[in-house]
Structure formats: C-alpha cells, structure tokens
Amino acid sequence: MDEPAAPTPPLVAVVGATATGKSDLAIALARALDGEVLNADALQFYRGMDIGTAKVTAEERQGIPHHLLDILDVTEEASVSAYQSAARAAIAQIRSRGRVPILVGGSGLYVRAAVDDIAFPPTDPAVRTRLEARLATEGTDTLHRELAEKDSEAAATIGAQDARRIVRALEVGELTGKPFTAFLPRHEYLEPGTLQLGLNLPRPVLHERIAVRVDRMVERGLLEEIRTLREQGLDKGRTARRAIGYEQGLAVLDGTMSCAEAIESTVVGTRRLVRKQDTWFRRDPRVTWLDAAAPDLVETALAPVEAALTAARSHPDA
C-alpha cells in the first residue's frame, strides 16, 4: 500500500514596518519549524548594503539558510517580476527538502508578488523612452488626459502629477491592450494555506527604536560602507543610491550635509517609510497582527502556523 503524500508546508510571511523585529521572529520560527528564510526586503537584494539595511549577519542567522539576499550589484535595478519568479522557485526548493518556507520583509509589493496570484505586465524600453520624451515636452497634464481617454479607471486612481505611474499605465495599455487596473494586486493568495503574520508596535516605541538603530548604524561604520559602495558604482544605481541612509551618506561624503543633519534626515525618512509600510499592510485584511513586544511572541506566532500544518496533514490533497 502506498504511503499517503506528505502535506505541503504552508508559506508563512512575516510582515510589517521597519524596526519591528521581523528578522528575529522569522529566524525563531525557522528554528522551531525546521524552516528556511526567504528575503522580501528589496534593499537587502544588494550586495554590500549591509549596515544601512540592517541585513542579518551570518552569526545572527544561527545556521538558518537565507535566500535572495545579496543577489544584485548596486548598479542594477530590482525587478518585482524577476523577484516573483526567483521567490517561487526558492519556495519550491525549500519544500522539496521537506522544510517550511518563511518569507520576511517590509517591501509590500514584493511580499504580494510572492504570496498572491498576481501577473506583472511586460515592459518595453523603447515604448517607455518614447512616453518619457513626450512627458518632457508635453507635460503630465497632457498625458494624464490621454490616459483618461484610454483608461478612465486608471486615470481616476493616478494623480495628474504622478508622472511615473502615468507613463507606466500608458505603456501597459499600449503593450497589452488591457487596462492598467487589470494588473493591480488583489487580495487573492496563490496558495490558500498561506499565512501572513504582521508585527505591531506603538508608534512612539517604534520611533525610539528607529533613532537608536540609525545611531548604531553610524557607529558600526555606515559612512565607510557607503564610501566603499560608491567605488563600486553606487551613484549609478537608480534604486540603491536613493535608499534611506545611503542618499544622506552620499551627501555627507559630498560635503553638502553634516553628519548630524544626515542622521536626522535618515530618522525622519525612516519614520515616513514606516507610515507607508503600515498603511500598505493594514489594507490587507488577511494579516494576523501580533504585539512585537509581547514576551510570548514566538509562541503566539507559532499557534496559527501549527494549526495550518495540522490542517494540511488532515487534508494532504487539498
């Protein structure tokens, strides 16, 4: 008699704002569940951007395999569609070893790319260049009016001065013949058993953590890290050079900002990022929110995961 098929381990995602302790919880869950960790922080894709992104060190990983860290040079551009393919391949490989995949990160669209049933529309450099040239000569108002004629639903959700999204919506319409909104993320898991655990902290506590974190980054040598990355082409990286902390560090090296001003700007920028992250993840009703400061955080987080594992064992073919 054939043995029953082993249940498929659920995909567990640890999400939330910067500085809430996501990496620590992901590693603790991996240790408890015999899992492996999968990065969903877009800035941690970059080799050498370690201190300023709070990337977990080899020692902090405690022997837990981590995937999709250090996969890009600072001159390269991150692609959410490329990430989706790489993340799903990594998830399949982790499961092939009988282990639980644990996704962790605060880059909302990258999390959604991994966990949700989303298709990303194509892009064409020639079309994009042509539209951007028109933008420069005709202005955003003209292109927004054109978008309203071709895709009224997209135009209603994209601000008249949001040049980047206007160009992208027109590009998608030209390349696919479909409205831009047809490709917007929906709250629909690719795998029904997926779990999202969100970490929550009171805003004053989080603000204090951010201030302490930035000071420690500077003490650990953030400016030296940025100087080294500049030698590797950081100034040429459209995404990497604009990262919070790195943009300020470049200004310090150029003499246009003092170290104290850079620290303050980094703290303020990180607080702004936290608000955006919180708004993004709060819009998703499927996230189970946990108190990041609770002494029994790991046990609380494990409860829904173990319930999902029990359900999978009971219905291995579901």
Entry field: residues in the chain: 318
Q: What is the pLDDT of residue 307?
A: 86
Q: Dihedral, CA atoms, 125, 69, 91, 279, nearest 10 degrees?
A: -70
User: What residue type is assigned to position 158 of the chain?
Assistant: I
* Domains 12-118+187-314 and 125-183 are alike in CATH topology: no
- CATH architecture entry for 12-118+187-314: 3-Layer(aba) Sandwich (3.40)
Domain ranges (residues) in the chain: 12-118+187-314, 125-183
pLDDT at 5: 58
Per-residue pLDDT, 1: 43
Output the pLDDT for position 182: 78
Within a 10 A sphere around the Cβ of 233, how many other Cβ atoms?
Answer: 14
Topology given in CATH for the domain delimited by 125-183: Histone, subunit A (1.10.20)
- What is the predicted pLDDT for the residue at 309? 78
| CA dihedral over 310, 66, 88, 242, signed as positive or negative | positive
The answer to whether residues 165 and 181 touch, using CB atoms and an 8 Å cutoff, is no
- Provide block-wise average pLDDT over 10 residues at a time, the chain (318 residues): 65 97 98 97 97 97 97 94 96 95 96 92 91 94 94 90 91 92 83 95 96 97 98 93 96 97 98 95 96 97 88 65
Q: Looking at residue 121, what is its pLDDT?
A: 85
User: Secondary structure of the chain in the HEC alphabet?
Assistant: CCCCCCCCCCCEEEEECCCCCHHHHHHHHHHHHCEEEEECCHHHHECCCCCCCCCCCCCCCCCCCEECCCCECCCCCCCHHHHHHHHHHHHHHHHHCCCEEEEECCCHHHHHHHHECCCCCCCCHHHHHHHHHHHHHHCHHHHHHHHHHHCHHHHHHCCCCCHHHHHHHHHHHHHHCCCHHHHCCCCCECCCCCEEEEEECCHHHHHHHHHHHHHHHHHHCHHHHHHHHHHCCHHHCCCHHHCCCHHHHHHHHHCCCCHHHHHHHHHHHHHHHHHHHHHHHHCCCCEEEEECCCCCHHHHHHHHHHHHHHHHHHCCCC
